[in-house]
Structure 1
Amino acid sequence: MADSEDEDLKLAIALSLEQSQSNAARPTNFIPASQTSPHDFREASGLSQLDRKAMEKERLARIAARTCQRSISPPELTRNSERPNKTRRLNCGHPSSPVKNNGLPDTQSDTYTSAPLQYPAGIVKRTWALGHERSNDIKIEEVLQSDSVRIAVLSAFQWDTEWLLDKINASRTKFVLVMQAKEEAQRQEYLRETQNWPHVRLCFPPMLGQVSCMHSKLMLLFHAEYLRVVVPSANLVPYDWGETGVMENSVFLIDLPRLSDNQRMVRGELTPFGEELMYFVDAMGMQEDVKEGLLKFDFEKTKHLGFVHTIGGAHLGEKGKRTGFPGLGRVVRSLGVQTEDPIHIDFAASSIGSLNDGFLRTIYNAAKGQEDGSGAPSSGGKRSKSDFFGKTSTIKSQPAEEMKDYFRVYFPTDETVHRSTGGPNNGGTICLQSKWYDAATFPREIMRDYQSKRRGLLSHNKIMYVRGQQYGEGDAKRPIAWAYMGSANLSESAWGKKVTDRATKQAKLTARNWECGVVIPMPMDTSGVLAGALDMNVFKDIIGLPFEIPGQDYGEKRPWFFMG
């Protein structure tokens, strides 16, 4: 996998944010791509806009003044080979009198309207799309629940904070913004710009060494009586949430009830989902009071789910088994859906890396629940298992020539993007480079055209559907099926790579991105047989199938390339 992969992704995002002069003006906190560098990309965070008292007043005025002609679409994509210039400094105003930030209050300290739990067992919805009939979809306002959200912990790769603040009652909601800031100077700049705003705190996940992308999307929404955990594929920008009718995403939500009588969970007694969520927020450097707040809610209803993450950086020993693709395999085993038999994978992604058979086998074997990416058998099977950091198993992986029968990747063709509602000018966050696709090692035979069932929409989804079978009692086999959805695309940067540490000569996992997602097994009936036929329709009622299945192979067509 090319080392430049994430730099190219950042360049794609920067290019996608180019704004033509004919478009309506962006918010004043927007930094155009012509003033950014793909090697030092800074999201348009608008931190200087966060004066809550004034902001709420301005928010109401903006709503009244806004017309339907305001451009909130992805700006036109340019194919200029010149890289943008250095990012300019965010302009920040200063309040007349500083206010000390005393931390986040308890969510029960004030009186708020709290609705009953909407999604106590978890649910997956697609994002609403302007101009399309509403069906199992959700708007950003319905996710955030502005009337009752007390504290909002938000993370994303792209931000439009003025738009976001229109969706939340900014005068009564406290924020923790998890943001990308690789350099210390940038972190200090952001901290200076928010030091006098009592309602906003920042969290900067570590980005040492080759880590270059804080790509995870996670919302922790604290209400008086429940915690809403949200894992979307959408960034915090209007077009990812359907407000221009050109892009679709997916959203996982679950509402967890508050424990009674000031009780709190003990970390060792959390469900595996809760344990991995806490492990992830620990790694991000989340503030202690936020983590303590999470333990005041009941994670019992997450026991059928898995939380999967990629923590940017290098990881030795047990840490290397817990994140990235080994972490995926670990979660698959913990949910009891591991297998040694062949599986079918259908992976829809908005960004494709420099694929080759070796990387595909890594993901394939992790999805089987194996302990390494080279074919080590899964725990609990009939064969001896191999440690991820130990001797590589001699059991052969799925042969490369057969991979095309088991692995399908959904990504739009150039023709599909050109025929979409927004056209090629809205394809800047859909990324694949021709130099990768045209390489002799790229498995072109597995590619399928992504065509949304909502005609004309492009996709920012990252969904992996897995189907197979496993041994039950004796030699009997039973079907299994599960899905991953979250922020991780199909790239080595997103899932990590096993390498040898130069200093210790030990194996380690390295990852350039921060990612997170959920694994959702399909339900079994009381006899242990999968409810429904073992084809793609098994996902229809739980995860949804937003695109055409099985999809057309490319034939003579070419994929969409963001920059040639």
Structure 2
Amino acid sequence: MSQDSQHGKWCISSSDDDDDLPPSGAAPSKPHRSPNSGQGSHSSDSTPVSKLEPVTASAVVKSEPVPLVIGSEARQSAASNQLNPVKYESSPSLAGKRKNEVLDGPGWALSDSDDDHDAGEKGKSPPRKRSPSPKAKKAKVEERPPSPHGRFYYIDEPEDFYEASFPSLNDTYRFYLNKVTGLDKKYNTGALHIRDVLSPLFGTIKESVQFNYCFDLAWMVQQYPPEFRDRPVLIVHGDKREAKARLVQQTQPFPHIRLCQAKLDIAFGTHHTKMMLLWYEEGFRVIILTSNLIRADWYQKTQGMWMSPLFPRLPEGSSGASVGESPTFFKRDLLEYLESYRAPDLADWIQRIKEHDLSEARVYLIGSTPGRYVGSDMERWGHLRLRKLLYDHAQPISDGESWPVVGQFSSIGSMGLDKTKWLAGEFQRTLTTLGKSSLRPEPPIHLVYPSVDDVRTSLEGYPAGGSLPYSIQTAQKQLWLHSYFHRWKANATGRSHAMPHIKTYMRASPDFTQLAWFLITSANLSKAAWGALEKNNTQVMVRSYELGVLYLPSAFNMKTFPVDNKPFPVSSSSSGFPVPFDLPPTCYTAKDQPWIWNIPYSQAPDTHGNVWVPS
């Protein structure tokens, strides 16, 4: 089957049937291999993953410490390309040719060996080892915590990269970007690294909980200040079977770490929520973010977070679910989200939250938890939760039909054969809701997702695409979607060359100077994350755990949020919202193609002189 579009022609075998479901994570397990084997899970950051066990020393350069292999097949491919890069000059036309890949006009064709990609490892030909390029970079002998992405492109952070004094922050919105190694210092002023977040400058940690999708526990422990590294940590994860066993193995050197497995009772769901709960001697704090707990996610990617104020402890005898509530009912909703796990290990944390005053929270919590919901429960989770909040609390705008919706994400699920199947028929209605107006406009929708050239010219080069796991199998079924795509450009924040793992959604004025609302979340553009209606719209089914926070102007005594066009260096007096990319978005040209991780790119070198040859 082949399809042509302005964004290229791709061919895959006819055995790849149309299927709205993501690749199965429940396929029988197969022997795990090193990154160079090309074997892993067909997965995105928001779809099922079969996490691989650590590779053997023989699979990597001898001088390189054994890397911890974590994440989706796209991330595995990034690891392979970094551990064993293919230089552009070694074969400019078809460098590192594998699996009978051939050039076919402006696009790519995949051989029939890619049959039945949804059936686990069925039909895969034996893996081939890449012949090392004579000009491949040599690894440095150095001591670093094991990393899932190798270290060939790592450069040391400058001495002043981490905060030694209280950072200069704009606390109006409490929305922060991460620090990026390699950027001009001014673009990191007011941004936060995980070491800053866990710093004693923000409180004396007694215990913490880390909710996430990917974990490198040895690296995570090193991010806590030395005086906090033996404090109890609870890890909330979604791993099962072999992946869970490998996570258990990671905990062995750390007796202070306990594991809590999230229940994933619906196929193809993941535990994708990223949240920290920090219990201090001085109070309690919640951080909702987009970064996995692996070094690569805090290195040269654009990430974001909402950091709560320090919530004080309530007076003795006055604790409870409704005491210390905020105008946005943040406390109620956080407790409801935690209770949805049905996990005894979270009982103490639920009680601790009840004992604290969360009245200073000014954001609304939007979570997804796996299940099928009917009646009023349909509005508890996913995009129908967002729709309910926008209906109840957003302010109608007289010319609302001209206010575009902007969605920005790092992974894309299957949307269906045309836009009416989910995007326009369901999700668009949510994103365009503004108050109780009966008007149902259809404003423009701009979807921001990096192009191939955005990835190629990034700080990481092609391996940055390992965190943008849009597959050819999904893309070729929904070429209609690509007409919505806009480039990742973030010159105002200095992050144009730091590829996004952040996910944001917003409604902007026609001139992009005002926002009607803004959302930061772990949820990518997928039905698994946001939920999909079933049974003639009488039921909604959600597959995954996700979490984000919604900013509405009314909670900040504003009618709209002004956009801060130059958020760096940070000014504590700015009232503008620090949108993490440039507005207005830049539409793809006829020559632009969306980044697709599992096809090769060898016609132009990346910023490290290498080409992309997926494993």
- Same fold, TM-score > 0.5, yes or no: yes
Give the C-alpha shift of residue 290 in structure 1: 0.8
Report deviation, 1:128: 0.5
Contact 2:506–2:515 at 8 Å: present in 1 too? no
Task: After TM superposition, give the deviation of residue 467 of structure 1 in Å.
Answer: 2.6
Q: Which residue in the other structure is 2:354 paired with?
A: 295
Deviations 1:179-231 (A, max 9, x none): 11345x87689779979976333222210132531111011111112212111
| 2:94 matched residue in structure 1 | none
Matched, 1:175 2:233: yes
Using the TM superposition, give the Cα deviation of residue 256 of structure 1 relative to its aligned residue in structure 2, in angstroms.
Answer: 3.3
Which whole-Å CA distance do the structure 2 matches of 1:18 and 1:429 have between them?
A: 19
In structure 1, the residue matched to 2:217 is 161
Q: Judging changes above 3 Å, is the alpha-carbon distance between structure 1 residues 563 and 125 closer, same or farther for their aligned structure 2 residues?
A: same
- Whole-angstrom CA distance in 1 between matches of 2:468 and 2:167: 38
Whether the 8 Å contact between 1:305 and 1:335 is mirrored in structure 2 is no
Aligned partner of 1:92 in structure 2 is: none
Change in Cα spacing, 1:306 to 1:5, as seen in structure 2 (3 Å) is: farther
- Contact 1:16-1:426 within 8 A present in 2 as well: no
Secondary structure at 1:247 match in 2: coil
Higher mean alpha-carbon deviation, 154-163 vs 19-28, is at 19-28
| Shift in alpha-carbon separation, 1:40–1:218, aligned structure 2, 3 A | farther
Task: Name the TM-score, length of structure 1 as normaliser.
Answer: 0.70
Structure 1 residues 378-420: Cα deviation after superposition (integer angstroms, max 9, x where no partner): 764357xxxxxxxxxxxx763xxxxxx6111111111221121
Conserved in 2, the CA contact under 8 Å of 1:164 and 1:237?
yes
Give the partner amino acid of 2:231: T
Helix, strand or coil at the partner of 1:251? strand
* Aligned-partner SS, 2:333: helix
Contact 1:17 1:76 in 2 (8 A): no
Structure 1, 329-338 or 117-126: larger mean CA deviation: 117-126
Shift in CA distance, 533/331, structure 1 to aligned 2, threshold 3 Å: same
2:423 to 355, 360, 380: 360
The aligned counterpart of 1:111 is: none
Equivalent position to 1:520, from 535, 551, 569: 551
Q: How far is the alpha carbon of 1:357 from its aligned partner? A: 1.8
Relative to the length of structure 2, the TM-score reads 0.64
**Residue 353 of structure 1, CA deviation:** 1.8
The range that moved more, 262-271 or 231-240, is 262-271
Give secondary structure in 1 for the equivalent of 2:43. Answer: helix
How far off its partner does 1:463 sit?
0.8
- Partner residue, 1:412: 450
Alignment of 1:49-448 (within 5 A): 67=142, 72=147, 74-75=149-150, 122-132=173-183, 133=185, 134-145=188-199, 148-168=204-224, 169=227, 171-182=229-240, 199-242=256-299, 246-269=300-323, 270-271=325-326, 272-286=329-343, 287-302=346-361, 304-337=362-395, 341-342=400-401, 343-355=403-415, 356-358=418-420, 359-361=422-424, 362-369=426-433, 380-381=436-437, 398=442, 406-439=444-477, 442-448=480-486
Which residue number in structure 2 is paired with residue 467 of structure 1?
A: 508
* Cα drift, residue 262 of structure 1: 2.5
1:82-108 CA distances to partner (integer Å, 9 max, x unpaired)?
xxxxxxxxxxxxxxxxxxxxxxxxxxx
Paired letter, 1:446 = Y
| Cα deviation, residue 447, structure 1 | 0.3
Q: Which runs of 5+ in 2 are unaligned?
A: 1-18, 26-41, 77-116, 122-140, 153-165, 568-573, 600-615
- Preserved contact between residue 321 and residue 327 of structure 1 (Cα < 8 Å): yes
Residue by residue over 1:263-307, the C-alpha shift from the partner in whole angstroms, topping out at 9 and shown as x without a partner, is 5543245332222211111112342111000112211111x3110
Matched residue, 1:530:
560
Q: Which has the higher contact order (CA 8 A, sep 6+)?
A: 2
1:21 corresponds in structure 2 to 60
Cα pair distance change 1:412/1:441, threshold 3 Å: closer
Residue 116 of structure 1 and its aligned partner are, at CA, apart by: 12
Distance 1:327 1:559, change over 3 A: same
What CA distance in whole angstroms lies between the structure 2 residues aligned with 1:407 and 1:423?
28
Distance 1:496 1:33 in 2: 22
Aligned to 1:458, the other structure's residue is in SS state coil
C-alpha deviations, 1:500-556, integer Å up to 9, x for none?
2xxxx9822112211000001247997x6536479999x993333335642242422
Shift of 1:161: 0.6
Is 481-490 or 120-129 further displaced after alignment? 120-129
Asked whether the equivalents of residues 6 and 212 of structure 1 are also in contact (C-alpha less than 8 Å), the reply is no
Deviation at 1:158, TM superposition (A): 0.8
Taking structure 1 as reference, are residues 23 and 71 closer, same or farther at Cα in structure 2, changes over 3 Å only? farther
Separation (CA, whole Å) in 2 of partners of 1:276 and 1:420: 38
Query: 1:339·1:368 contact (CA, 8 Å) conserved in 2?
Result: no
Identity of aligned residues (%): 16
